[in-house]
Structure 1
Amino acid sequence: MCTYVTEKSATAGSGKGAQGWFPLTSTTVYFDHPVHAQTDHSLNLDFVNPDRGPSARVAVELTAESAVNLVEAIARVFTQVSSDVTGVDQAGAQRLLAAAESLRATTAAR
């Protein structure tokens, strides 16, 4: 079943494609059928810079478990690095980690 659930996010960063590094300007996140990953559904991330054409894209397809692992890892990093460096306050980082751990507990129970 297709979910068609899609979120777009402004993105500032860099991605490496077939023609080298390029600036990223947006990310599309959706949970649906993957193109390549060997699973029925995946969390799909498309990091893009539309102004640079179709080659300025980095696509990632993650299993749900891998996506939760990634959220937890990101949250743990933000709790361990000073907010002076990240710009993310420790309270926010702790809330993100708690949410990731709650998500892990929910998915593990299934």
Structure 2
Amino acid sequence: MCTYATVCERVDGSAKGPGGAWFHVTDATVYYDHPVHAMAEHSLNIDLADPSRGPGARVAVELTRESAERLVGAITAALASAPDGV
């Protein structure tokens, strides 16, 4: 079943892309649907990109549901461990 549920968010950060070069990312697109490459029926797909630099300025991740849930927990724990304002 395709969900077509897509969430887009503005971000400010960096990603390492093709060829090992770092680039600025401005957009995050997150959706739960069929993966392109991951060996799973469905996956949480995350694209980090700078659309102004064309299609090459993009990093894509496809995670199983369980892996995505663990990643959310890890992100929450890492942010909670940092003092406010840091």
- TM-score of the superposed pair, with normalisation by structure 1: 0.75
Aligned to 1:38: 39
Cα distance in 2 for residues equivalent to 1:84 and 1:51: 30
- Residue of structure 2 in register with 1:9 after alignment: 9
* Structure (1/2) with the larger helix percentage: 1
Structure 1 unaligned blocks of 5 or more: 86-110
Q: Which has the higher strand share?
A: 2
- Structure 2, unpaired ranges of 5+: none
Structure 1 residue identity aligned to 2:18: A
* Structure 1 outlier segments of 4+, above 6 Å: none
Equivalences, count: 85
Q: Distance in 1 between matches of 2:16 and 2:80?
A: 27
Amino acid in the other structure paired with 2:2: C
Give the greater-gyration-radius structure (CA): 1
- What are the residue-to-residue correspondences of 1:1-110 with 2, within 5 Å? 1-19=1-19, 20-85=21-86
How much does 1:84 deviate? 2.0
% same residue: 54
| Cα distance in 1 between the residues matched to 2:23 and 2:85 | 27
TM-score normalised per structure 2: 0.95
- 1:63-107, CA deviations, whole angstroms, 9 ceiling, x for partnerless residues? 00000000000111121110120xxxxxxxxxxxxxxxxxxxxxx
Which amino acid is the alignment partner of residue 43 of structure 1?
Answer: L
Instruction: Name the structure, 1 or 2, with higher relative contact order (CA <8 Å, separation 6+).
Output: 2
Q: CA shift at 1:22, angstroms?
A: 0.7
